[in-house]
Amino acid sequence: MGTLTNTNEFTNSGKRRNKSIAWDHFTVEGERAICNQCKKSFAYICGGKLAGTSHLMRHFSSHISPASRLSNPKNNMLSIDKPDAKTNVSADLARKRFRATPGIAPLIFDQDRYNRDIAKMIILCDYPIHMVEDMYFISFVRSLQPQFSLVNVSTIEEHIKDIYFRTKQSLSNLLAEIPCRISLTLDLLVSNQSLGYVFITGHFVDCDWKLQRRMLNVITLPYIDSKIAFNRAVSACLADWNLSNKLFTLTLDNAYINESLKENLRGFMSVNNPLILNGQLILSSCYARTFCDLAQDALMLFRETVDKVRRNVFYVKASELREEKFMQLKQQLQVPSMRNIILDDLTRWDTTYHMLMAAFELKEVFSCLGTLDPDYALTLSIQEWIQVETLCMYLSHFYDAVSLLTAPVYPTSNVFFDEVWKIQLELMHGTTSQNLLVRYITTPLLEKFDRYWRGCCLFLATAVMMDPRFKMMLVEFSFNRIYGADAETWIRTVDEGVHELFLEYVVQSLPPPTFVEYPHESVEGTYIAQDVDFLSTLDGFSSDFDIYIGLMNNQHMKSELDQYLEECLLPWVQDFDVLGWWRINESKYPTLSKMAFDILCIPVSSVSPDSVFDTGNRRVDSYRGSLHPQTLEALVCAKDWLQYEKSESLYESPSAMVKRGNKN
């Protein structure tokens, strides 16, 4: 019986069809096959021993790039012929790639590691915890890693708390070693349920003599009107971090603090820190809040003009065509300003200041805009532009003062005195100006700012005295400018206060007293075994402290403080590291340096750097208000601490991930 043959395998001339896809890229010329790309000739004899096409496919594979293999499935077919290793080009290339990258092992999937990374992402990015149960998030993660298992809110909360407790232990170790006292700021936020949340931040100098700022606690206050609510919050913080004997000062958010609460806190401080001025170091007025109130008051004085500027800016920004015409007109008028008009955010007063500054510098463009745009009819009058100029002048002072708090490195307290006294003087001069508009704006502002100045000037003056570039010289100069004939009284008050504080540090640094019996006669009682011959003159002194002062006066010893103040000022440099200077001079001024460290780390503001320009009182949103207090504290504090953590990054390189997988 004959063999059945598929007639489709033959051409009309009776020759067998070339079924191999290699013939899509080669042309037969006699007994040779010519490559269509490189024109290289290969042996090919139909029906002979060399009639195969494997060598042709191997050659053509060298012309195929990896990208073209992915984009054209036909090209991949060239590498799929016989299972022979000689013809399997893909397998051969894979082996070469493997040999070229030794040590790379398959990544081992670690579900627990992925869960921790998700928890860290939620902490750092303020994502809601329940996102892990969202179907779209699950779909997205599984598209990246099919082995990923579903996780619930409780599991992620446990990982968040684990991160919180791990980083808290590191911070606790750091606080246990600090060489100075710690100052706290209290910032109160209220939820929609009228619950209070006290955000407590610690400011201190670490063992490397660097100023540090850390969120310590978020304490829930069920009754924010309670007179002892803040006392309990501070007590809980001190107990949590074992800081009862290291508290130095408290700085409060004056948005919610009244006189009754301040008096209760002063009583609390006198018990917890009785050694330093009887615990009375409380700064009741927040620096950032004070300037925020001043800026808002100034804007309200010219609210109609400010609103008109805002409507002008909105008119231009509302249309791309109008904005294009505005920019063309600016170029035609050759206005030198580099500012662009912006629409302000009513929740931040700095954006309103920038809007007014840009509009004022571009006032010529606004004045001529009507020539290009017949619909524009909001032109400000000359008097209104004068109001904008005057307003911007005082807002610029407030803006520069507050911008100190937004620096990459949180500033030491010595830098604020120079800003504050200049503003006090500027407002005082404004109230006596012949310009009615200037008197109109400065009179109410001075009344409010003067209360802040009188409450903080002595502390700020003490802080600037710890700066070897200024010492008492800047205090004397500024007080003479502000108080005139009464300056001497204020200068003497600062000088006496600094010396009193220094003597308290001297007493704390004294070794425990050694008592001996008087050798020459029988005396009831004992004396300090120092300068025995001089002790007989001290019958009128009532305490060891008085005895020490008597010894100091009798020996005519010049204190560290007096030596420091009498030395020449350092040359002024802009980027001066005051803590670094005291570190270098610690052996020269051992007691005074301790006092300097405590004073220079006192915070003047209770709000975080990203909120110093906020208007109104910040609130806890409904999502965070719904969280358990411990979970909220873990989220807020861990986010603050993680930025200082020097552990592995959230995003690892592939090689690092493989190494970690191999270890597991």
pLDDT digits (tens, 9 = 90+) for 92-116: 544 444 444 555 555 677 788 888 9
Q: How many CB atoms are located within 10 Å of the residue 375 CB?
A: 10
Query: Integer distance in angstroms from the first to the last C-alpha of the chain?
Result: 67
Alpha-carbon distance of 58 to 310, in angstroms, equals 72
Q: What is the 3-state secondary structure (H, E, C) of 540-585?
A: CCCCHHHHHHHHHHHCCCCCHHHHHHHCCCCCCCCCCCHHHHHHHC
- Numbers of helices and strands, H then E, in the chain: 27, 11
For residue range 12-59, what is the model confidence (pLDDT) as tens digits? 444 555 556 677 778 887 778 888 877 787 777 665 544 567 777 777
pTM of the model: 0.74
For residue range 583-621, what is the model confidence (pLDDT) as tens digits? 999 999 999 999 999 999 999 998 888 889 998 777 888
Mean pLDDT of the chain: 80
What residues have CB less than 8 Å from 315, skipping those under 6 apart? 322, 376, 378
For residue range 500-523, what is the model confidence (pLDDT) as tens digits? 889 888 887 776 655 544 454 444
What residues have CB less than 8 Å from 52, skipping those under 6 apart? none
Q: State CA 237 to chain mean position distance.
A: 22
Q: Compute the average pLDDT of residues 327-332.
A: 91
Helix (H) / strand (E) element for 441: namely: helix 436-465
Does the CA dihedral 430-436-441-445 come out positive or negative?
positive
**In 133-281, which residue ranges form alpha helices assigned H by DSSP?**
135-144, 153-176, 229-241, 259-272
Q: How many CA atoms lie within 13 A of 632 on its CB side?
A: 20
Q: State CA 584 to chain mean position distance.
A: 28
Alpha-carbon distance of 436 to 388, in angstroms, equals 15
Q: Compute the average pLDDT of residues 145-158.
A: 87
Residue position matching structure tokens 């006090």: 424
Phi, psi of 563 (to 5 degrees): -60, -45
Question: What secondary structure does DSSP assign to 590-654, as a single string?
Answer: HHHHHHHHHHHT--S--S-GGGTTB-S--EE-HHHHTS-HHHHHHHHHHHHHHTT--S--SS--H
Q: Is the pLDDT confidence value at 651 over 70? A: no
Residue position matching structure tokens 């700095």: 350
Phi, psi of 467 (to 5 degrees): -95, 115
